[in-house]
Structure 1
């Protein structure tokens, strides 16, 4: 019996002339939680795509090296082969079928069937689905993760956090599982949900299943990992037990330079109040899994307003409603004038821009170039990057190229060039392209939802600093929705906490942790005052 459940020996991979992996060796023991970390573009996802037999690997010339499972060399030519060998993977980008229910996605290709009168006569191919048993087994997998999700709900429209748990439930429902890869599983989760998942991962590992854990949240890595392997620019930097690393060590080895990993800021978070830019009254948004029932907010010109809260409580629905992506109602005024809801075109033409939490489903044209993605909205909404030749218009390719090169440099988008398809970028670099497209619109109000999801720690700081600079230097008003309270506190002037579909209260970013926690649990500001008064009386 081999000491290792998995060995990946001297793995190398080229995309054309570009070498993205250079002789990587990885060894995983049964029941071990092995963290794999590195900046966006370091090669983590490519290495896991090789392990899981993803088509993009074989269609681009395959790879060099060996994959050894339980002491025997194996050839993984497809995801189905990987699953047959007991390898499961929770992908960073969801691999779910939107029109199917939660149960149908969890049990896909492993459906339970039962006999009926016709199958008894004509054969087992005519058996019917045992939906009751499938639901019970799906619910059991979700319960292991501590999640209460309706198994008959369609995937389409669910909050991204719920989709992530469905992905994970599908993998742990499998019977022959030996190794499970988690690719950024907590990137779309709130801190509470992430804690639930980490506890579930520890239980999975104790059962003997090995886990490869890819995450940019270094505090989670430090908490849960037994071993840590760090990649940089496609090369192996080091691999050692987690006790030999500090969080700062990990960050610096990832980026190859000294790095400030703190989100805290000693600067006074104040802004020049130039009046109310947008007023929101009685906003209702019908977004599946994120129902907003009554939101009242004033957004001041020149501020960064953070919106936080637990998943499914409505925080993500606010921006989606204002941008017209989900049906909404209520009274909204922008710059003192009535604002029309339910029209994305109206929102964009009135100088709102949006970075969606769903970068692949909403944010990007995956089979189009980086430069086209960045310029597309400005071309359609503002007629920019177009040459007017009276009878017709032509694309201003030089302007498009110059604009894309600027943002590739400013946002450190790791790519082969502006003509590379956005769908072939790593998840974090795709997010940067979404941000670049929104900024190209030069909006008066920028709505960003989970802007640092799936981005490494160096790029995360870059994005947050960019938002802060846009606000301070150009007075851009920003509404930032995030599941990470630390991020909101680092750049926001005020933070609105949403619970049960409404704003429970607005706090200064330096407010005590317990105040944020109480608001997230459904208490109001009046409740906080009452609690504080009782504490004083004691």
Structure 2
């Protein structure tokens, strides 16, 4: 039997009065892959932050309990201590330096140098970088992952998938890595790319590296993990071999309730008028190809946009909404939209929930209340009340709080209250705040990009159901971009597949999954509807 690498005994953690972990006990053996699952806010990220020694833990009073690594008790004061001990972590949000190449990021602070004759006089800083050796090390790390990425590529020019592989390559390039923590590493990957990563994880485990794998894709847990650990509300609900359980059991342990998988009858929108006409759209966006998109969107429908990573699906909404340089013709209700002007689109009744919730979607150091109301205040002059007979207006805090409370309850945003800073929320709850902002704007057309990325199965169902209800109640046209075809098939009336920067065809959710797969890889084209 493999030796115990990591042992956690009676671990508890609180942030103020909010206890997020309660008496956690678990073990990780050498070469073992453990899947860590739970709804957003269940305590997964906090547990990983404790193991990895992230400063937020010490600065908020530390934790109770004991952690043993290789038989010795640890209580890291920083992540650098964890790295030195052989614990690596790939975070859900990228931590690469955008202006550096892949190879420079992979060997950062561990560069190969050529010795300088001035070293003895002036120290290590006078050594010169051996770029040839550095790129060779990066190439070896990528090949170990089973992917081909040019080590000279600058990170800012990479697709999100390549950024993810670069993050992982950086950790496995460290020669002393014994435990690797992966936080949602497949959330930004296509099925093919995710499959490559899962096979790599298995190979790393066979080499003796233990892996803690956080994911909301339960099929991945069943495919690659030896054991699954389920957290709910900070409590370890179950720890069991994947051979002894199934996806349905894990789901019920996670959320404490059964999920309704019945599909609702879909309305046919073929006779409805076009609310959005996109012609010859091209978009200049790093990592995306959008060169000639032609698409007609029906009023009141939910249209899905799917495709392989980097083929253009993400770029379409960013181009239409003016967040990336674009050209072509876009008509909204028959009138031409001015491209490359986000404010114009917002004022006319279009809104965008970006895939980059931290970079574009939220002001992290502001409260949930402020984040939800901000666009409506700035664009539509809402949440304002008149003073001195209308001479000037002030923000109506009561209405802002009332609106925020409504969406906190409806979307089940896990927080202390609306005054909590958005940056303190889990990724999935931040995503829900982004949706609350969109609903508050009450747009005529809503673009939503990767709405369930990084959120658990229970929250995913809630988010999709809320979008469906919003569409039915308000008649809002919703255009959803997603890497998960099953997600699009669950909620959309039609699904457009993007291949090599163009619409390869439009399919029905009821079409055979094989038809989707062939179209995504360019094996068969369909005429636009």
User: What is the TM-score when the length of structure 1 is the normalising length?
Assistant: 0.94
Q: Are 2:388 and 1:381 equivalent residues in the alignment?
A: no
How do residues 245-324 of structure 1 correspond to structure 2 at under 5 angstroms? 245-260=245-260, 262=261, 265=263, 267-268=265-266, 270-271=268-269, 273-324=271-322
Task: Report how many residues are paired.
Answer: 526
How do residues 338-417 of structure 1 correspond to structure 2 at under 5 angstroms? 338-389=336-387, 390-417=390-417
Q: Are 2:83 and 1:83 equivalent residues in the alignment?
A: yes
Looking at structure 2, the residues matched to 239 and 335 of structure 1 have their Cα atoms a distance apart, in angstroms, of 54
Comparing 192-201 with 318-327, greater Cα deviation is found at 192-201
Q: Are 2:61 and 1:61 equivalent residues in the alignment?
A: yes
Match of 1:191 in 2: 191
Looking at structure 2, the residues matched to 522 and 130 of structure 1 have their Cα atoms a distance apart, in angstroms, of 41
Match of 2:181 in 1: 181
Q: CA 1:227 to 1:140, structure 2 compared with 1: closer, same or farther past 3 Å? A: same
How do residues 108-119 of structure 1 correspond to structure 2 at under 5 angstroms? 108-116=108-116, 118-119=118-119
Name stretches of at least 5 consecutive residues in structure 1 with no aligned partner. Answer: 529-538
Give the secondary-structure state (helix, strand or coil) at the position aligned to 2:317.
helix
Looking at structure 2, the residues matched to 60 and 166 of structure 1 have their Cα atoms a distance apart, in angstroms, of 31
Q: CA 1:349 to 1:152, structure 2 compared with 1: closer, same or farther past 3 Å? A: farther
Question: 8 Å contact 1:494–1:506 — kept in the other structure?
Answer: yes
Q: CA 1:318 to 1:38, structure 2 compared with 1: closer, same or farther past 3 Å? A: same
Q: CA 1:271 to 1:69, structure 2 compared with 1: closer, same or farther past 3 Å? A: same
Question: 8 Å contact 2:506–2:526 — kept in the other structure?
Answer: no
Looking at structure 2, the residues matched to 437 and 131 of structure 1 have their Cα atoms a distance apart, in angstroms, of 46
Looking at structure 1, the residues matched to 244 and 458 of structure 2 have their Cα atoms a distance apart, in angstroms, of 21
Comparing 239-248 with 112-121, greater Cα deviation is found at 112-121
Q: CA deviation at 1:157?
A: 5.3
Q: CA deviation at 1:122?
A: 4.9
Looking at structure 1, the residues matched to 179 and 396 of structure 2 have their Cα atoms a distance apart, in angstroms, of 50
Q: Are 2:225 and 1:211 equivalent residues in the alignment?
A: no
Instruction: Map Cα deviations across residues 174-228 of structure 1 (whole Å, 9 max, x no partner).
Output: 1101000111111121222111111111111111100001111111111111111
Question: 8 Å contact 1:90–1:182 — kept in the other structure?
Answer: yes
Give the secondary-structure state (helix, strand or coil) at the position aligned to 2:109.
coil
Match of 1:462 in 2: 462
Instruction: Map Cα deviations across residues 310-346 of structure 1 (whole Å, 9 max, x no partner).
Output: 1111110001111111101111111101111111111
Q: CA deviation at 1:525?
A: 2.4
Looking at structure 1, the residues matched to 524 and 116 of structure 2 have their Cα atoms a distance apart, in angstroms, of 55
Match of 1:536 in 2: none
Question: 8 Å contact 1:505–1:524 — kept in the other structure?
Answer: no
Q: CA 1:143 to 1:499, structure 2 compared with 1: closer, same or farther past 3 Å? A: farther
Q: CA deviation at 1:291?
A: 2.3
Query: Over aligned residue pairs, what C-alpha RMSD do you find?
Result: 1.8
Looking at structure 2, the residues matched to 526 and 412 of structure 1 have their Cα atoms a distance apart, in angstroms, of 40
Q: CA deviation at 1:154?
A: 2.8
Point out 4+ residue stretches in structure 1 off by more than 6 angstroms. Answer: none
Q: CA 1:394 to 1:266, structure 2 compared with 1: closer, same or farther past 3 Å? A: closer
Q: CA deviation at 1:70?
A: 1.1
Instruction: Map Cα deviations across residues 65-112 of structure 1 (whole Å, 9 max, x no partner).
Output: 111011111221110000011001111122222232222222222222
Question: 8 Å contact 2:504–2:527 — kept in the other structure?
Answer: no
Match of 1:475 in 2: 475
Q: CA deviation at 1:137?
A: 1.6
Q: CA deviation at 1:123?
A: 4.6
User: What is the TM-score when the length of structure 2 is the normalising length?
Assistant: 0.96
Question: 8 Å contact 2:270–2:298 — kept in the other structure?
Answer: no
Q: CA deviation at 1:268?
A: 3.7
Looking at structure 2, the residues matched to 154 and 394 of structure 1 have their Cα atoms a distance apart, in angstroms, of 46
Q: Are 2:158 and 1:155 equivalent residues in the alignment?
A: no
Question: 8 Å contact 1:269–1:492 — kept in the other structure?
Answer: no
Question: 8 Å contact 1:379–1:386 — kept in the other structure?
Answer: yes
Looking at structure 2, the residues matched to 281 and 117 of structure 1 have their Cα atoms a distance apart, in angstroms, of 62
Q: CA 1:164 to 1:134, structure 2 compared with 1: closer, same or farther past 3 Å? A: same
Q: CA 1:252 to 1:526, structure 2 compared with 1: closer, same or farther past 3 Å? A: closer
Q: CA deviation at 1:38?
A: 0.7
Comparing 275-284 with 265-274, greater Cα deviation is found at 265-274
Question: 8 Å contact 1:306–1:481 — kept in the other structure?
Answer: yes
Looking at structure 2, the residues matched to 13 and 429 of structure 1 have their Cα atoms a distance apart, in angstroms, of 20
Looking at structure 2, the residues matched to 135 and 392 of structure 1 have their Cα atoms a distance apart, in angstroms, of 61
Instruction: Map Cα deviations across residues 326-373 of structure 1 (whole Å, 9 max, x no partner).
Output: 101111111101111111111111111111111111111111101111
Q: CA deviation at 1:392?
A: 2.9
Question: 8 Å contact 1:273–1:301 — kept in the other structure?
Answer: no
Match of 1:27 in 2: 27
Instruction: Map Cα deviations across residues 149-185 of structure 1 (whole Å, 9 max, x no partner).
Output: 3333332353333322221111111110100011111
Question: 8 Å contact 2:100–2:155 — kept in the other structure?
Answer: yes
Q: CA deviation at 1:36?
A: 1.0
